Amino acid sequence: MGHGWEEAHWGGVPPSADWIDGISPVNPVLLYRMDVHMVLINTAALRLVGIDSNTEVPEGGKVVLGNGNEPTGILVDNAIALVMSHIPNLTLGGKMQALKAAVDHIVTKGVTTVCDMGSIGEVEEVWEALEQVYMPAADKGELPIRVFAMVPLTTWPRLHQLVKARGRAHPGGHLHWGGLKAFADGSLGSRTALMKEPYADDPTTRGIRLTPYSDMELLVQAADAVELQVAIHAIGDQANDDVLAMYSHAQRNNSHLASPRRHRIEHVQHVSGSDAMLAFSQLQTVAVVNPLHLLSDMHIMTDRLGRQRGSAEHAFAYNAMLKAGVQMAFASDWPVVPLDPLLGMYTAVHRRSPDSPASQAWHIEGAVLPEQAMMAHTKGAAFACGLEGSIGVIRPGMQADFTVLDGNLPDVLHRGLNELPKVKATYVKGQLQYVSAQAAPDLAGRT
């Protein structure tokens, strides 16, 4: 298995099974596209799974066919499930090792709190991660960071029972639950983000709805009625409008409840216009956006969507959303893109990477101010998790999560310097959880 290919790196031609058959003619191979909404498998894997032109494809998925109406090796979104059941799960020990490796990396980036949105695999796998990996780690005090773990929206009754029995967090405060995740659509790069109008470079499609509207609407209303937070992946403008409509309907149906559930939409990459932004604000829906996706999608935006839909009023419309009063939080979407909040803030402010000249900024009119970027990655992110009473800012009574840098981040963001500060140390609840080799002599013995 592997991850990270992107056809734009070699001219836009989608890969096919024969590209990798010569490397692995016998052993099955699965390679995720960088956005994990598409995979390439080799001929050995196609044979193992039994995928051919007559395969019944799950709703919300696609098996790409080529010459002779034969599978090319590309599976899209829900069709990926056809092959996942043939891949052995990690052992419990392997999962614990993976958690430690992830946490060890996370703290080097100055991150103190993460949202785990659940795996792409089977529903039970996500619950096993919560109950057999996270909970035991929290019991043993082996979670040095704070984890907000989400489970599939379809399992809201199970989560409701957990919340009734144990509340919304582990007593140690490093593990939280109470959130539900679902997918409304796919991604722009895979042309599966659900758009209101056809793609400019493929008029035969508007994208894919991964979950039938009526099914998801019923699930949202049920979760909302028992006061559980819902977070739905929506990238296309139609997908975002759909989810906003679901949240609005749930709010009206459950208006007897004391306060809104602070539902989230993950990514919010393409919005239909000012009405959608107003809906975000009125519904108090949190827009959890990923600035680093701009770096990967800016090069294909105009080809995919045309100039109007690819403008800063509709794509990565952070400035317009803030002006409309939308509650915004920044997130990385790691491992789809790097876990790097400093680079994310830089990208949101300058609409380019630090090693690109200012002339290559993508629609600079969509940029946010340095202070807004820093707030979105700290206070805004805490608000999205319902943790604004304990983290997100440094002041008396808060839990003293902070990061020590070797440079002045506001200065770098204001001036657009091409070298970002490096993380010297990461503190969680005032406790040192990471120190760089260079900073170790200066911070030795400090807590």
CATH number at residue 46: 3.10.310.70
Tokens of 139: 């019991």
pLDDT (0 to 100) of residue 134: 98
User: Quick one: 138 and 275 in the same domain?
Assistant: yes
User: Quick one: 204 and 275 in the same domain?
Assistant: yes
Residue 257 scores a pLDDT above 90: no
Computed on alpha carbons and rounded to an integer, the radius of gyration of the chain in Å comes to: 22
Determine the Cα–Cα distance for residues 270 and 188; give it in Å rounded to an integer: 9
Please indicate, yes or no, if residue 395 is contained in any of the structural domains.
Answer: no
Closest alpha carbon to 194 in 90, 267, 283, 284: 267
Please indicate, yes or no, if residue 396 is contained in any of the structural domains.
Answer: no
Question: Higher model confidence: residue 85 or residue 245?
Answer: 245
Domain end position, chosen among 61, 84, 107: 84
Confidence of residue 121 (pLDDT cuts 50, 70, 90): low
User: Quick one: 168 and 104 in the same domain?
Assistant: yes
User: Quick one: 373 and 406 in the same domain?
Assistant: no
Pairing of β 431-435 and β 423-428? antiparallel
Confidence of residue 358 (pLDDT cuts 50, 70, 90): confident
Determine the Cα–Cα distance for residues 281 and 406; give it in Å rounded to an integer: 37
Domain end position, chosen among 84, 102, 135: 84
pLDDT (0 to 100) of residue 12: 83
Tokens of 288: 């959890």
Chain center to CA of 152: 14
User: Quick one: 59 and 113 in the same domain?
Assistant: no
User: Quick one: 246 and 173 in the same domain?
Assistant: yes
Confidence of residue 297 (pLDDT cuts 50, 70, 90): very high
Please enumerate in sequence order all residues whose Cβ is within 8 A of that of 367, keeping only pairs 6 or more positions apart, or say none: 318, 319, 348, 349, 350, 351, 361
pLDDT (0 to 100) of residue 120: 67
Average pLDDT over residues 293-312: 93
Runs of H (alpha helix) within 109-236: 123-128, 135-139, 156-166, 213-225
pLDDT (0 to 100) of residue 445: 59
Q: Given the structure tokens 């035969």, which residue do they identify?
A: 204
Average pLDDT over residues 205-223: 96
Average pLDDT over residues 322-348: 96
User: Quick one: 310 and 229 in the same domain?
Assistant: yes
Determine the Cα–Cα distance for residues 404 and 427; give it in Å rounded to an integer: 8
Which region among 50-54, 197-201, 266-270 has the lowest average model confidence (pLDDT)? 50-54
pLDDT (0 to 100) of residue 446: 64
Output the CA–CA distances (angstroms, integers) from residue 204 to 200, 207, 296, 339, in the order listed: 9, 9, 24, 35
How many domains does the chain contain in total? 3
User: Quick one: 79 and 113 in the same domain?
Assistant: no
Residue 444 scores a pLDDT above 70: no
pLDDT (0 to 100) of residue 185: 96
Residue 77 scores a pLDDT above 80: yes
Cβ 390 vs Cβ 398: under 8 Å: yes
Domain end position, chosen among 336, 357, 384: 384
Peptide bond into 157 cis (omega under 30): no
Q: Given the structure tokens 């992110």, which residue do they identify?
A: 381
Q: Length of the chain in residues, anyone? A: 447
User: Quick one: 153 and 278 in the same domain?
Assistant: yes
Determine the Cα–Cα distance for residues 395 and 289; give it in Å rounded to an integer: 26
User: Quick one: 104 and 233 in the same domain?
Assistant: yes
User: Quick one: 244 and 353 in the same domain?
Assistant: yes
Please indicate, yes or no, if residue 259 is contained in any of the structural domains.
Answer: yes
Tokens of 266: 């993950």
Confidence of residue 416 (pLDDT cuts 50, 70, 90): confident
Please enumerate in sequence order all residues whose Cβ is within 8 A of that of 108, keeping only pairs 6 or more positions apart, or say none: 423, 426, 434, 436
Cβ 111 vs Cβ 145: under 8 Å: yes
Average pLDDT, the chain: 94
Q: Domain of 59?
A: 2-84
Give the containing element (helix H, strand E) for 424. Answer: strand 423-428
Residue 368 scores a pLDDT above 70: yes
For the stretch 137-179, pLDDT in tens is 999 999 999 999 999 999 999 999 999 999 999 999 999 998 9
Give 27: exposed, middle or buried? Use CB within 10 Å, 0-12, 13-18, 19+: exposed
Average pLDDT over residues 18-32: 94
User: Quick one: 79 and 99 in the same domain?
Assistant: no
Please indicate, yes or no, if residue 393 is contained in any of the structural domains.
Answer: no
Please indicate, yes or no, if residue 397 is contained in any of the structural domains.
Answer: no
Total-model pTM: 0.91
pLDDT (0 to 100) of residue 20: 95
Residue 64 scores a pLDDT above 80: yes
CATH number at residue 151: 3.20.20.140
Please indicate, yes or no, if residue 298 is contained in any of the structural domains.
Answer: yes
Tokens of 213: 């509207």
pLDDT (0 to 100) of residue 8: 80
Please indicate, yes or no, if residue 376 is contained in any of the structural domains.
Answer: yes
Give the containing element (helix H, strand E) for 308. Answer: helix 301-309
Q: Given the structure tokens 């070298």, which residue do they identify?
A: 419
Average pLDDT over residues 19-26: 94
Please indicate, yes or no, if residue 390 is contained in any of the structural domains.
Answer: no
